[in-house]
Amino acid sequence: MSAPTPAVVALQAAQVVHRLHVLDDLDGGYGALEVAEALGVRPDRVFKTLVLAHPGGHAVAVVPAPARLDPKAMARALSVKRVGLAGTEEAQRLSRSVVGAISPFGFTRSLPTVLDDSATGHGTIFVSGGRRGLEVEVAPMDLVDALACAVVRIAR
């Protein structure tokens, strides 16, 4: 594997127990269904990371990949009026990764982060490792502890 991503460096620095999965040459691309199939897990265990903008700044949502973010629920979780996706360049700058491979770990600065509560129904979940084809398997509560994030129903 090439040099560790900022996400992997952050996981190691925080001493978060995790397992890396390298997925090479996924013919169908790196969408949630392809990643889940390559990992041999149900798609609802694969989570995507969304960088959001709101009137007070930025935030991060971590939701099951097959689901959609509920913007109203996310806004309530952050106690703001509204949220929307950050622009591509903005998301990549903040996350130090490319869109489609953004990890909840390794941001340039700590942002308010919300994990969908469905994650707690799994022993481990999978999030991007900060590069396409690199997945991190982590216990949901380890993610919560490491990122000091809230656990709220934000997916629909």
| Structural domains in the chain, sorted by start | 6-152 (3.90.960.10)
- pLDDT score recorded for residue 25: 65
All residue ranges of the chain with pLDDT < 50 are none
- pLDDT score recorded for residue 30: 65
- pLDDT score recorded for residue 29: 60
Q: What pTM, to 2 d.p., does this model score? A: 0.93
Q: What is the CB-side half-sphere exposure of residue 85 using CA atoms within 13 A? A: 10
Cα-based angle 127, 96, 63 (whole degrees, multiple of 5): 30
Cα-based angle 148, 143, 152 (whole degrees, multiple of 5): 65
Q: Which of 111, 5, 1, 3 is nearest to 49 (CA)?
A: 111
- pLDDT score recorded for residue 55: 92
